[in-house]
Amino acid sequence: MRYKEAVFVGLVATILYFDVTKEYKEQIWQFSENLMIWRTSESVLVGRFDRLADKSNVLVDSFFIGFNGNIDVILNGQNLLKKLGVSADDVTAEDKLVISSVDDLASVFTHYFKQETAAERAVVEESSWQEMLKAINEMEEKTNFIGGNAALIARTMSYSNIKIKLAVPGGPELIKQLKEYGVSVMENCKQSYDELHVIMEYGVGEEFAGHTAKRANRFIFSRDIANSQMSATNCLTDEAVSGVDVVVIAGFHMLETLPTVQQHAVINSVREKLSLHKKQTIHLELASMTNRAFLLDLFNMLAVYSHSLGLNEAELDFLSVSLGGDRVEVKDISSVKAALVLILEKAGSESSLTRVHFHCLTYHIILERKGRWKNSANSVAMGTYTAAKFACDTPTIVPSNHELRFLGTDVKPVVTEDVGVYTLHISPVLVCKQPLKTVGLGDSISATGLLYTTKT
């Protein structure tokens, strides 16, 4: 055995077999890592993440989570069209804003299949929706999964053994699947049927309507009345919120298609109800939107009255431009920092909004107003740590299954820096090479981070 390896083994043995103080253990680990020059960056970072996780304590024990939940029905797109009697030879590729018939579904699916891009449309005719449901129910090769931001957040939080009050439109299948994670839907939010989002997948090499797909993708359609009207906001009562530590609200992107008057009615109702509860931490999780006017309304009418905001790169880019800022490029961290600062600057120094949690594939950032939050460094690091395990669907992180793509100079779980009146914490992601779970990954990041921080 070479000298350095022998010293390393001796140091590890000291930790494992002798009763040494935490401070001494940390010194041993730091010295050991300096010896381990043959280890990869991924291996070193995993070790540091593991030790950080061992020292990180959950600071809250109860959440209220709302408001969107559904069942994602995942199936092969071509097989569904065949079941509906659609022939590839007779389809005309054409995009439509809404789907009124089976022919519309075939046309829009084919349009995006040829472009090989993802898209989502709503079915507006009940009779056509029932025809599609009949075909779906007759298909054997399909899979049902929990869907919807709020429901996915609750599923992720269930691993922490905290108390959860979940306010989503809960149909029989969604209730059944959530129960497997120990999560219950609030009684007054339950309904007799599930809201379904049908995900028509296709793989590389699939041929349809004269086109061969060079990449895998999906087309989604639904007739989701309860979530599009955010009916579960009716479950936001004083009794439901009283006694919880954190309130997480999500699913507001579902309001985009409604008239402005209805959008404002829902947003105002939620804000007014939450304004009665001063002790709870309020976190708003954004999702993909295309209506700039609606996004600005949501920001000015709800986000600035929340304490924390969660969003990904597409959402940050759209919000930055909507607020009068520049486009965001995740490879240029300075542009991300500028956009995050812009959000808190536009909210104003007197606003409740003092924290933004940004997540992308390679790194995560929390920007906070100084002195307003506790333990934010651990919060962002535990978010990336959870994301790595969740993506590979493993209880621990195996270094060979991940790669470090963030080009920071330090191989550390988190790096902190001052940005004027704000503090910024950035954490690199150990990206899963062959991810088994991607749906709900962003939600799990923000949700986990909220376990390890509290506002002052």
Q: Is the pLDDT of residue 138 over 70?
A: yes
b/e code 221-257 from CB counts within 10 Å (16+ = b): bbbbebbbebbbbebbeeebbeebbbbbbbbbbbbbe
Token output for 136: 């779906």
Q: Is the pLDDT of residue 19 over 60?
A: no
| Paired residues of 249 in beta bridges | 66, 284
Check residue 386 and give its pLDDT. 87
* C-alpha closest to that of 248 among 109, 64, 445, 417: 64
* C-alpha closest to that of 70 among 203, 227, 199: 227
Check residue 367 and give its pLDDT. 98
Catalytic-labelled residue, pool 104, 245, 297, 443: 443
Q: Is 95 a catalytic residue?
A: no
Q: Average pLDDT of the chain?
A: 90
For the chain, give me the number of helices (H) and strands (E)? 16, 21
- From 210-224, 251-265, 293-307, 404-418, the region with the lowest mean pLDDT: 404-418
What digits encode the pLDDT tens for the residues 188-220?
999 999 999 999 999 889 999 999 999 888 899
CA–CA separation, 61 vs 212, rounded Å?
51
Average pLDDT over residues 222-232: 94
Average pLDDT over residues 397-408: 86
DSSP assignment of 346-415 equals: HH-TTSS--EEEEE-SSEEEEEEETTSEESHHHHHHHHHHHHHHHHHT-SS--GGGEEE----SS--S-E
Check residue 443 and give its pLDDT. 72
Specify the higher pLDDT residue, 349 or 288: 349
Taking the CA atoms of 54, 59, 62 and 65 in sequence, report the sign of the dihedral they define.
negative
Is omega for the bond preceding 67 within 30 degrees of 0, making it cis?
A: yes
Share of the chain above pLDDT 90, in %: 73
What digits encode the pLDDT tens for the residues 347-363?
999 999 999 999 988 89
Spatial contact of 279 and 303, defined as CB atoms under 8 Å apart: no
Q: Where are the alpha helices (DSSP H) in 116-232?
A: 126-138, 149-157, 172-179, 225-228
Where does the pLDDT of residue 394 fall: very low under 50, low under 70, confident under 90, or very high at 90 and above? confident
What digits encode the pLDDT tens for the residues 313-344?
989 999 999 999 999 999 999 999 999 999 99
Spatial contact of 220 and 112, defined as CB atoms under 8 Å apart: no
Average pLDDT over residues 288-302: 94
